[in-house]
Amino acid sequence: MASSISSFLCSKLFTTLILTFILLPFVPHSSSSSSSSSQVDHYIVFMDSNAMPKVFATARHWHLAILASLTAAPDNHQVASSKLIHSYSHVIDGFSCTLTSSELDALRNSDGYLHSIKDVPVKPYTTHSVEFLGLRGSGGCSASAAWEASNYGEGMIIGSIDSGVWPESRSFGDHGMGPVPARWRGECAQFNASLCNKKLIGARSFHQGLDARNITIGKNSSARDDTGHGTHTASTAAGNFVPGASFFGYAPGVAKGVAPRAHVAIYKVFHQDKGVASDVTKAIDQAIEDGVDVLSMSLGPKEVATSLYDDPVAIATFAAMEKNVFVAIAAGNGGPTPKSLSNSSPWTLVVAAGSIDREFRAELHLGNRGVSVSGLSLYPGSYLSAQAPIVFMGDCLNETATAGEALKGKIVVCQHKNQMLGYQLSNIQNSSAVGAVFIGLDAELLRVYVEDNHMKTWLPAMFMTLEEGEAVKKYIKSSSSSSSKNPRVASLRFGITNLNRRPAPMVAGYSSRGPSPASPYVLKPDIMGPGSLILAAWPPTVEVATVTDSNPPFYSTLYSD
Ligand SMILES: *[C@@H]1O[C@H](CO)[C@@H](O)[C@H](O)[C@H]1NC(C)=O
Ligand SMILES: *[C@@H]1O[C@H](CO)[C@@H](O)[C@H](O)[C@H]1NC(C)=O
Ligand SMILES: *[C@@H]1O[C@H](CO)[C@@H](O)[C@H](O)[C@H]1NC(C)=O
Ligand SMILES: *[C@@H]1O[C@H](CO)[C@@H](O)[C@H](O)[C@H]1NC(C)=O
Ligand SMILES: *[C@@H]1O[C@H](CO)[C@@H](O)[C@H](O)[C@H]1NC(C)=O
For 536-560, what is each residue's pLDDT tens digit?
666 766 666 666 554 333 344 444 3
Counting ligand 2 atoms within 8 A of each CB, the residue from 1, 188, 190, 194 with the most, and so the one to mutate, is 194
Atom 12, ligand 2: residue with shortest CA distance: 192
Question: Which atom of ligand 2 is least distant from the CA of 192?
Answer: 1
**Cβ of residue 193 lying under 6 Å from some atom of ligand 2:** no
Ligand nearest to the CA of 212: 1
**Cβ of residue 35 lying under 6 Å from some atom of ligand 2:** no
For residue 151, the model assigns a pLDDT of 76
- The pTM score is 0.77
- Residues 6+ positions from 480 with CB-CB distance below 8 Å: 486
Q: What is the mean pLDDT of residues 298-322?
A: 89
CA distance linking residue 294 with residue 159, whole number of Å: 6
Taking 50 as the threshold, does the pLDDT of residue 31 lie above it?
Answer: no
- Cα angle vertex 129, ends 128, 131, to 5°? 160
For residue 96, the model assigns a pLDDT of 97
Taking 90 as the threshold, does the pLDDT of residue 319 lie above it?
Answer: yes
- Cα angle vertex 513, ends 509, 519, to 5°? 165
- Residues 6+ positions from 430 with CB-CB distance below 8 Å: 402
- Residues 6+ positions from 120 with CB-CB distance below 8 Å: 276, 277, 301, 302, 303, 312
Write out the CATH class of domain 40-118: alpha beta
Indicate if the alpha-carbon torsion angle 323, 329, 334, 337 is positive or negative.
positive
**Cβ of residue 220 lying under 6 Å from some atom of ligand 3:** yes
For residue 479, the model assigns a pLDDT of 59
Residue 507 corresponds to which amino acid?
V
Instruction: Give me ligand 5 centre to Cα 431, in Å.
Output: 10
**Cβ of residue 397 lying under 6 Å from some atom of ligand 4:** no
Contact in structure between 378 and 246 (CB atoms under 8 Å): no
SS3 286: helix
Q: What digits encode the pLDDT tens for the residues 363-419?
A: 999 986 678 898 888 787 666 778 889 999 999 999 989 888 889 989 999 998 887
Of residues 340 and 8, which shows the higher confidence score? 340
For residue 212, the model assigns a pLDDT of 92
- Cα angle vertex 469, ends 398, 405, to 5°? 35
Contact in structure between 163 and 227 (CB atoms under 8 Å): yes
For residue 418, the model assigns a pLDDT of 81
| pLDDT band at 26; cut points 50, 70, 90 | very low
- Residues 6+ positions from 309 with CB-CB distance below 8 Å: 115, 117, 315
Q: What digits encode the pLDDT tens for the residues 37-57?
A: 578 999 999 999 999 999 999
For residue 532, the model assigns a pLDDT of 61
Ligand nearest to the CA of 219: 3
Taking 80 as the threshold, does the pLDDT of residue 1 lie above it?
Answer: no
Indicate if the alpha-carbon torsion angle 172, 174, 175, 178 is positive or negative.
positive
CA distance linking residue 152 with residue 548, whole number of Å: 41
The CATH architecture assigned to 359-498 reads 3-Layer(bba) Sandwich (3.50)
Of residues 37 and 9, which shows the higher confidence score? 37
Q: What is the mean pLDDT of residues 450-472?
A: 81
| Domain spans of the chain, in order of start | 2-25+123-356+515-530, 40-118, 359-498
Question: Which atom of ligand 4 is least distant from the CA of 406?
Answer: 5
Backbone angles phi, psi at 213, to 5 degrees: -95, 10
- Mean of per-residue pLDDT scores for the chain: 79
Helix boundaries (H) for 221-311: 229-238, 277-290
Ligand nearest to the CA of 82: 1
CATH fold for domain 2-25+123-356+515-530: Rossmann fold (3.40.50)
Q: What digits encode the pLDDT tens for the residues 241-283?
A: 777 666 666 666 666 777 889 999 999 999 988 999 999 999 9
For residue 35, the model assigns a pLDDT of 43
Q: What digits encode the pLDDT tens for the residues 324-365?
A: 999 998 888 787 888 888 888 999 998 887 766 677 788 999
| HSE value, Cβ hemisphere, 13 Å, CA-based, for 534 | 33
Ligand nearest to the CA of 394: 4
For residue 480, the model assigns a pLDDT of 57
Backbone angles phi, psi at 352, to 5 degrees: -80, 160
Counting ligand 5 atoms within 8 A of each CB, the residue from 398, 399, 430, 555 with the most, and so the one to mutate, is 430
Burial grade of 55 (CB within 10 A; 0-12, 13-18, 19 or more): exposed
**Cβ of residue 222 lying under 6 Å from some atom of ligand 3:** yes
Backbone angles phi, psi at 435, to 5 degrees: -165, 165
Pairing of strands 275-276, 121-124: antiparallel
**Cβ of residue 426 lying under 6 Å from some atom of ligand 5:** yes
| pLDDT band at 15; cut points 50, 70, 90 | very low
Counting ligand 5 atoms within 8 A of each CB, the residue from 395, 412, 426, 432 with the most, and so the one to mutate, is 426
Backbone angles phi, psi at 11, to 5 degrees: -130, 155
Atom 4, ligand 5: residue with shortest CA distance: 430
Q: What digits encode the pLDDT tens for the residues 142-199?
A: 445 555 666 778 899 999 999 999 999 888 999 999 999 999 999 999 888 899 999 9
**Cβ of residue 398 lying under 6 Å from some atom of ligand 4:** yes
Strand spans (E) along 113-152: 113-118, 121-124
Q: Smallest Cα–Cα separation from 446: which of 470, 466, 430, 429?
A: 466
